[in-house]
Amino acid sequence: MNQAPFSIAIHGGAGTILRTNMTPEKEHAYNSALDQALKAGIAVLTEAGTALDAVTAAVTSLENCPLFNAGRGSVFTHDGSHEMDASIMTGHNLESGSVAGVTGVRNPVLLARAVMEKSEHALLASRGAEAFARAMQLPFEDSAYFHNDLRHSQWQEALRDDKIVLDHTEKKFGTVGAVARDIHGNLAASTSTGGMTNKKWGRIGDSPIIGAGTYANNATCAISCTGHGEYFIQSVVAYDISCLMEYKGLTLADACHEVVRKKLVQRGGEGGLIAVDHAGNVCLPFNSEGMYRAWYEAGQQHVAIYR
């Protein structure tokens, strides 16, 4: 078993990401953005920082990059706005914070963390969550900050076809997340997303739902998911993996295989996840064509996109 002092993994979404649809320039841009976010997390962990600070740093970096469907790069809703979801959880005390359907907040991950640390709640939504963000003096941005021509044309296409589109299933962008194990043996997980293009009626995915899109428990593992949120909610994916380890004694790799390659596939739930266990082992399973991912394990750094 790997006894590395610390480990971290990040993702930028899973979906139909094919080498044939990629240009060398785009591939380079993704690899650099993933590398930068991973390094932001590694910098924290190298200085004996916490897994919580490491996942916060990595997800903030990904939220600030327009390539990914989170923060700045969030997809358009049916109404032409951006409604973002995010969550964060620490494995040593099982505390968590989540926000759902927030608009204008520059870094939803920081708001989720404020919910965890500075409120007595676990999940705040829409206008109330935004009022809390203002009370916490977190930065807001106007709609120009979130505007992106590609996202806009994806939305126009979805509007025309009257479809709600999982952004990275047909295009190549996605939700972001990070999981880490620090040198103190603590685990943490975080996920952030703009959800699905053309979503309406206040649709919320799995990303802010603890146990579905995000989970961390020092006794088992830390997980951040990406994929078709409805399936991930109904399959309680992140907690299911933790439970298979806790109650059935499965290894992280076996638990991930059982849930992502078997259970989710049987239900038709496309996507993947990143995971790290209490010993620092990393696992990055997905049942889609690709998943933007990067990880640091046993002193080695890796970046990958395709299967």
Question: What residues are annotated to the active site?
Answer: 175
Measure the CA dihedral 61/62/67/71, to 10°. -100
Phi then psi dihedrals of residue 221, to 5 deg: -160, 170
**Residue number with CB closer to ligand ASP (13 or 71):** 13
Q: Which is nearer to ligand ASP, 206 or 297 (CB)?
A: 206
Please tell me whether residue 171 binds ligand ASP under the rule CB under 6 A: no
Site residues (CB under 6 A) for ligand ASP, limited to 110-169: 167-168
Cα 170 → chain centroid: 19
For position 285 contacting ligand ASP by CB under 6 A, the verdict is: no
Residue matched to tokens 């997303």? 193
Could you tell me the smallest distance in angstroms from the CB atom of residue 225 to ligand ASP?
6
Minimum separation from the CB atom of position 45 to ligand ASP (A): 25
* Cα–Cα distance for residue pair 264/272, rounded to 1 Å: 9
Count, residues near ligand ASP per rule CB under 6 A: 15
Contact flag: residue 73 with ligand ASP (CB under 6 A): no
C-beta of 13 vs 66, nearer to ligand ASP: 13
The residue within the footprint of ligand ASP, chosen from 50, 69, 96, 186 (CB under 6 A), is: 69
**Least separation in angstroms between CB 206 and ligand ASP:** 5
Q: Is 193 in the site for ligand ASP (CB under 6 A)?
A: yes
What 3 state SS string does 1-42 have? CCCCCCEEEEEEEEECCCHHHCCHHHHHHHHHHHHHHHHHHH
Nearest by Cα to 98 from 119, 109, 112: 112
Q: Which is nearer to ligand ASP, 41 or 205 (CB)?
A: 205
**Could you say which residues in the range 203-242 bind ligand ASP, by CB under 6 A?**
205-207, 226-227, 229
166: tokens are: 């999982």
**Residue closer to ligand ASP, measured from CB, 49 or 194:** 194
Instruction: Decide: 188 and 50 in contact? Cβ < 8 Å.
Output: yes
Q: Which helix (H) or strand (E) holds 123?
A: strand 123-125
The alpha carbon of residue 89 and the mean position of all alpha carbons in its chain are separated, in whole angstroms, by 12
Residue type, 174: G
Q: How far is CA 108 from the centre of its chain?
A: 11
Hey, what are 21's tokens?
Answer: 């649809």
- Per CB under 6 A, the segment of 26-34, 36-44, 191-199, 235-243 that binds ligand ASP is 191-199
Residue 66 touches ligand ASP, criterion: CB under 6 A? no
Which residues contribute to the site for ligand ASP (CB under 6 A)? 13, 69, 167-168, 174-175, 193, 195-196, 205-207, 226-227, 229
